[in-house]
Each structure stands twice: as structure tokens, then as C-alpha cells.
Amino acid sequence: MSLLGSIKKVDDFTWEIPPDAQEGMLVPGVVFGDRALLEKADRDNALQQVINVACLPGIVKASLAMPDIHWGYGFPIGGVAATGAADGVISPGGVGYDISCGVRLIKTSLTHTEAAGRLRETIDLLNVSVPKGLGTKGRLRLERREVERMMSRGAAALVASGIGWEEDLEAMEENGCYAGADPGKVSDKAVARGREQVGTLGSGNHFLEIQVVDEAGPLAEKLGIFEGQVVVMVHSGSRGLGHQVCTDYIEVMGAALPRYGYRLPDRQLVCAPVQSREGRDYLAAMACAANFAMCNREAITHWVRECFERVFGTGARKLGMELLYDVSHNLAKAEVHEVDGKPASLMVHRKGATRAFPGSRPEVAERFAQTGQPVIIPGDMGSYSFVLVGTEEALRKSFGSTCHGAGRAMSRKAAKKLVRGEELRERLESRGIMVRSGHLAGFAEEAPEAYKDVQEVVEICEGAGLSRKVARMRPLAVMKG
């Protein structure tokens, strides 16, 4: 049944589902989008998931959805919800299976004109240097104690071993290490699944792209971005380790659910009090998976820098290969936000949504005080990606959150029926986009037509005040699992 009749327009970019739309709602649902995006979200049941999330015990202000919203496990992808840290719940479905799936952007000092003749050689070398694909093993062979060190210390553990740069840490959310990690709360099975996957891209919507900046706004210079610049975007997560952590704790919380007496509209919203044993254990394991994910992206960055050094015959530092930023879009975080005019300690779930803080927040590194925290937004492999920055208005409207990408417009199954991998590759190559893919059937699942228009999504976020646009990039070479 369509829910569009119950939605009220607040302004050109904001829509509200009132709390009387369904029994059990504790707060309204708020969707940032336009009418066309609402209709898509209604068709794939994502609006119903916004309503369901509004029933979570301890939720405050609203159940929020970004314009890239689509159906997910329990929470919609593009969903944001904050619960009270003292009396609210933590829900693994509000984080997702790929814990700390995230994106980073590596800058270079190269212009497209300077690099164009060597890009084919570069993507070919990356294709053999960065492991990709479902279940792929990485180049690092780690003992359990080494994995535990990464889970505890985050990217600093890799940097200490000579993989990555010390200055990368300041350009990462939480300086590359989420607090509260306890490897003792991660199962042996999760460790075994992740032990050989550090520095691997994975499959699905994960990718590595060489891009060129084709639009740069007024803030770009402050972030070291310029028109014509070659950059590299990496999108990957916590691989099998994070997936298993989610699986384990959905089972743990499901078993504990009768004890807490919660009445949930969807069992996929299984949850536990933030302060309960189950809640604390999950958060400790989730932090481990997040730290593992940042190590994964840092190792990939190391391989990327090595490849550029080999192709261009000079050091990565001379090539200006600094990390702009690394940000996650699948996490729950303890944050303080204003609720009813007073500061409140909250557990903010962001699933397929990105933190977008202004420079005034203490969590944001000093180097971004004048711009706001960078937000890296990938689009589809046939269009554009963006760099945004966070805003003060986002704090008031969305707990400092914005979109995470374009958002799917059709299922993977539907995309495979519509597009053949070989045809898609030929189409992209004819447009000057070099493609390296290990699995053409999976490649077809990620066809541009399977996604919403990322420019429209970004413009809605900017119009709603959730983030500001800094730069736009288009793909030159794409590598997928």
C-alpha cells in the first residue's frame, strides 16, 4: 500500500511522515528529497522502513532518510536515527553488514594532460596489485595477534609497520581509530574471515577509480583540489570480518529480545539497550570492524601509491599523493547533539549515510576548521562523484549527516536482466572510461542505470543545507571485483 498520501511537504527538499501514520511511532519520519525520489522510495518499501525505525525504543527527534534512500535490512539504506545513550537502543540493522564501508579520496599533483598517456598502464598495474572480488585474499598474511592489533589500534597499526603515512591518520574519521574496540568481543569465525582480506577491494558496489576533477568551487583550493587534477577514489569496507560481526550480534540480540520486551514492527530491527551487555559487546565488536575497515583502505592506498610511483617514475610524496579524507557511511557513533534545546548524549546510527560535521565540531581536525569536514560521495561509474563539506545546518536537521552516494534505483537482479556486462564495458570504453573487472556478471549489477542521478541527490542535500558542494569528478578508469 502506498504511503505517499500520509506524507506532508515541509519545504522543497523536506517531507514529513507524521507520528500518527502508524501505531507505535514515537517520532515523525523525515525524508530529504523531491517527489520523484519519494515515489521510488515508496515503491521499494523504503518509506515503510522509515516508519518502522521511528518505533525504536529511545529514538529522538525523527527517523531520517537521505535522498539516496532505498530498501535495506531493517533500516533503509540512507537512514539516520539517534537514540538516547542512557535509555535508547543500538540496532545492528542501523549499521548494516558491511560495518564502516567507506570512501577515501587520494589527491595527486598530476593534471589530466600530464597523466593521460600513462593512465592505461596505471590501471593495468592497479588491476594486478590490488586484490579484488568476492572472498579474495590479500597480499598480507597476518597472524591473529596482528589482526587484533589492527582491530584495537586502527590504521595506526599499519602505519607503524610501514604501510601508509603518519599524516594520513589526521585525514581519517576519528584519526583512523574508533574508541572502545575490544577484540575479545569478535568471534573466531569473524577473525578467520577477515584475516587474509586486509588490502582487498571486495565485490559488489566497491571500486577503485582514477578520476579527474572537472568542476572546483570556491572551497576547493583550501582542500588542495583544482580543476584538471587527477585523483583516486577507493570504496571498500570491513570485508568478511564486519559481515560476520553483524551476523553474530543479530543472533545474540535476537535471543535477548524477549528479555527486554520490545515490540518491534520488523524483526530485522532487532536491538538491545545501549547500556546492556549485548549492546556494549556489539559496540566493542563494531569498533573492531571499523578499525579493520580503515586498515583495509589504508593498505589499498599503499598499493595505489606504489603503482603510481612505478608508472610515473618518482615518489608518491613528489606526486602529491596526500589523503584528502576517509569517511565511513555504515556506523553507529556516540555523539552529543542538541535535543529540545539542550545537549544530549546520543547513539547516532548512520546506514548508507555520511557524517557531515562543520569545522566547529571538536571531532573535526584543525586542518578542516575553515571548510568543514570533507564528505566523499561516489556516484555511478558512468557519471560523476563529488567532494562535499559538512555544515552547521546539518547539525540541526540531521545530526550532522548527509547522503552517501547515488543510491540504487533498481535491484542487482533487475540490472543484470537489463544489461550485459560485455555491452556495458564496451559502452564505457567508447566514452573514454577504461574498465577492469574480474566478473562481468557482477559488473552488470553496477550499471549506471541501476543508480539514481547522483547530481540530483547532491543538489537536494545542498538545498536542504545538509552539505556544501566543493568539487565534481568524472571517472577516467574504473576497477571493480
More confident residue, 246 or 449: 246
- The verdict on pTM exceeding 0.85 is yes
**In contact, 303 and 351? CB cutoff 8 Å:** no
Check residue 142 and give its pLDDT: 81
Residue 33 lies in a domain: yes
How far is CA 218 from its chain centroid? 25
Mean pLDDT of 84-110: 97
Q: Using pLDDT thresholds of 50, 70 and 90, give the confidence band for residue 419.
A: confident
Q: How far apart are CA 47 and CA 31, in angstroms?
A: 9
Q: Using pLDDT thresholds of 50, 70 and 90, give the confidence band for residue 437.
A: confident
**In contact, 357 and 373? CB cutoff 8 Å:** yes
Q: DSSP letters along 129-195, please?
A: HS--STT---S----HHHHHHHHHHTHHHHHHTTSS-GGGGGGBGGGG--TT--GGGS-HHHHHHHT
pLDDT digits (tens, 9 = 90+) for 224-236: 999 999 999 999 9
- List residues with catalytic annotation: 404
Q: How far apart are CA 271 and CA 273, in angstroms?
A: 7
Q: How far apart are CA 405 and CA 452, in angstroms?
A: 9
Q: Using pLDDT thresholds of 50, 70 and 90, give the confidence band for residue 280.
A: very high
Residue 222 lies in a domain: no
Q: How far apart are CA 399 and CA 339, in angstroms?
A: 10
| Exposed e or buried b per residue across 318-355, where buried means at least 16 C-beta atoms within 10 angstroms of its C-beta | ebebbbbbbbbbbbbbebebeeeeeebebbbbbbbbbb
Residue 349 lies in a domain: yes
Q: How far apart are CA 159 and CA 154, in angstroms?
A: 9
From residue 429, give the alpha-carbon distance in Å to each of 77, 261, 306, 382, 434. Answer: 30, 56, 26, 10, 5
Q: Is the pLDDT of residue 285 over 80?
A: yes
Mean pLDDT of 106-135: 93
Residue 373 lies in a domain: no
pLDDT digits (tens, 9 = 90+) for 257-277: 999 999 999 999 999 999 999
How many separate domains does the chain show?
1
Burial class (CB in 10 A: 0-12, 13-18, 19+), 316: buried
Mean pLDDT of 321-337: 98
Check residue 135 and give its pLDDT: 67
Count of beta carbons in the 10 Å neighbourhood of residue 182: 16
Residue 385 lies in a domain: no
**Contact partners, residue 363, CB within 8 Å, separation at least 6:** 174, 335, 357, 373
Q: How far apart are CA 37 and CA 44, in angstroms?
A: 11
**Contact partners, residue 1, CB within 8 Å, separation at least 6:** none
Check residue 120 and give its pLDDT: 97
Check residue 276 and give its pLDDT: 98
**In contact, 323 and 43? CB cutoff 8 Å:** no
**In contact, 373 and 199? CB cutoff 8 Å:** no
Q: Which helix (H) or strand (E) holds 445?
A: helix 440-445
Nearest to 407 by CA among 461, 362, 355: 461
Residue 343 lies in a domain: yes
Q: Using pLDDT thresholds of 50, 70 and 90, give the confidence band for residue 143.
A: confident
Residue 280 phi, psi dihedral angles, 5° rounding: -65, -40
Residue 345 lies in a domain: yes
Residue 184 lies in a domain: no
**In contact, 395 and 358? CB cutoff 8 Å:** yes
Q: How far apart are CA 272 and CA 409, in angstroms?
A: 32
Mean pLDDT of the chain: 95
SS3 199: coil
Q: How far apart are CA 457 and CA 468, in angstroms?
A: 12
Angle (CA) 291 254 243, round 5°: 30
Mean pLDDT of 77-93: 97
Look up the domain containing 23 and give its range.
4-92+333-354
82-91, 250-259, 322-331, 433-442, range with the lowest pLDDT: 433-442
Please give the grid coordinates belonging to residue 350. Answer: 548512520
pLDDT digits (tens, 9 = 90+) for 357-399: 999 999 999 999 999 999 999 999 999 999 999 999 999 999 9
SS3 25: coil
Q: How far apart are CA 305 and CA 310, in angstroms?
A: 9
Q: Is the dihedral of CA 49, 51, 57, 58 positive or negative?
A: positive
Q: Using pLDDT thresholds of 50, 70 and 90, give the confidence band for residue 109.
A: very high
